Amino acid sequence: MLDPLSAWLREQRLAHSWSVAEMARQLSLAARRTGDHTVPGTAILANYVRRWEGGKTGLTERYRLHYCAALSLSPDQFGPQSAFGPEPGGSEVGVLDGYGDVARGSSSAEPLPAATSADLLMAVIAQESLDFGEWADTSNIGDATLEHYTGRVRQLADDYQHGAPLPLLVETRALRDRVFGKLRGHQRPAQTQELYLLAAQVCGLLAWMSADLSLYRAADAHAWTGWVCAEHADHNGARAWLRATQSKIAYWDGRFVESAQLAEDGLGYQCPDSGQVMLALFHARTLARVGRREDAEAALGQARDAFERAGEDLVGGLWSINLARFHSLAGNVHTWRQDPRKAFAETSMALEQFAAAAPGQHNYGAEIHARIDQAQAHLLMSDLDGAQSALQPVLTLSAEKRYEPITQHLGQLRQRLAEPAFGSAATGRRMHGEIEAFCQESIFHELTP
């Protein structure tokens, strides 16, 4: 049971509808008004208030006077009647405060009129509101940390363009866990929305990376979670890029109708960056793959229009389309459209752009795909030597970067090399064997038992 003074202090604070923090602030203001500039900060004072109200520490004369000033009381009105009454024999009892000062009792204290039950109830209800307000005003993340997470997402998306997939997937997972951990805590609504956007982006990157390792079921799971987070963030840019990622996953998993549907749905989410360009290109690629050549060319025109309108990318790197990557994907569309001249023209422009870029500043996967499609264009024109020349830089790619779409794309080239027109030639047989050896040393085979 609390002693009378502790209970009285709490009742007075509640009667003013003050939180503990506000009581500490009022004491600090009262101290400054009386010329006492040595009191500690409000955070420490709040701890004192809790201890005084909990009966864990006594109140000194110094803070008794500050309470009087804060509560607009005269000294003889302070405390309940029994709080400072003399001990039997006329002696006074001292108690220690947070500074170790001794508080002396006073026999002259007069009680305030007792609060009515209704007053106390209203004060308790007000305190409950204040307690919630204090909780709502807290956050488990700072703006600097949010900026750091945003920077990490962009850095990972950029690094993936020229780094090995597996180590970057592990790094991305670590960032995802940090973002998820914060979301499971408490933060302000605007911060929560920003965290959900980050979660959508980081799950989207995990989905893209997992598909590159041929882990399509895991990729679908990451993408679905990313979509849920994009919905919570209510962000069309994230929705567009998640749909592009899902379309890409379905394409390389052989689900071409689903890939086209996902890309088409994503085009309905307007965003200012190059997400619409990627969606249109993926739509065109899938349409070409299933033999809808005219529709594919129309979708490619839509991609060109979107590219002209696109502004700065929110994430960039992996989730962006520059001129080189645009021409690379356009070349692939024309390869599936069986138009070797347009395929050769697009891939040549892509390779020129890649060659002009600074080392490590371009998407090596997009460059590799452009070279494979250029080799395909040569084969479509019955130029086996040209195909061999286009393919040679591909075969020097390190094993840790030989992800699944690259080996799958090479498998398509190898099937064409097996045709009688090329399979009977020594050059064709040699290229066929080199591709097979290349794929056997891919990262996908390293991960497969």
How do residues 227-267 score in pLDDT, each as one tens digit? 999 999 999 999 999 999 999 999 999 999 999 999 999 99
Structure-block tokens of residue 167: 């180590």
Residues spanned by the domain of 22: 4-136
80 and 202 assigned to the same domain: no
Quick one: 60 and 78 in the same domain? yes
Radius of gyration of the chain (CA): 35
Which of 110, 136, 162 lies at the terminal end of a domain, its last residue? 136
In this structure, which amino acid lies at residue 127?
Q
Query: What pLDDT does residue 89 have?
Result: 33
Summarised one tens digit per residue, pLDDT across range 438-447 is 988 876 554 4
Phi, psi angles (nearest 5°) of residue 319: -95, 65
Examine the domain organization and report whether 120 and 12 are in the same domain.
yes
CATH of the domain at 203: 1.25.40.10
| Same domain, residue pair 107 and 172 | no
Tokens describing residue 25: 């602030």
What are the E-state strand segments in 67-195? 95-96, 102-103
Task: For residue 182, name the pLDDT band (cuts at 50, 70, 90).
Answer: very high
Summarised one tens digit per residue, pLDDT across range 286-344 is 999 999 999 999 999 999 999 999 999 999 999 999 999 999 999 999 999 999 999 99
Number of domains within the chain = 2
| Shared domain check, 440 and 374 | yes
Question: Around Cβ 432, how many Cβ atoms within 10 Å?
Answer: 18
- The reply to whether 274 and 382 lie within a common domain is yes
Distance between CA atoms of residues 140 and 123, nearest Å:
29
85 in the same domain as 118: yes
Last residue of a domain, one of 85, 101, 136: 136
* pTM higher than the cut 0.95: no
Residue 421 has a pLDDT of: 84
Q: Which residues pair with 103 in a beta bridge?
A: 95
Do 126 and 148 belong together in one domain? no
Token pair recorded at residue 332: 């692939």
Q: What per-residue confidence (pLDDT) applies to 119?
A: 67
124 and 161 assigned to the same domain: no
Q: What would the mean pLDDT of 149-153 be, rounded to a whole number?
A: 96
Asked if residue 262 and residue 182 are part of one domain, the reply reads yes
Which one is predicted more confidently, 127 or 136?
136
252 shares its domain with 321: yes
In order, the DSSP letters of 56-77 are SSPPPHHHHHHHHHHHT--GGG
- Do 193 and 106 reside in the same domain of the chain? no
**Cα torsion at 85, 86, 87, 89 (round to 10°)?**
-150
Q: Which of 136, 167, 186 is the last residue of a domain?
A: 136
d(CA 376, CA 372): 6
Residue 317 pLDDT: 93
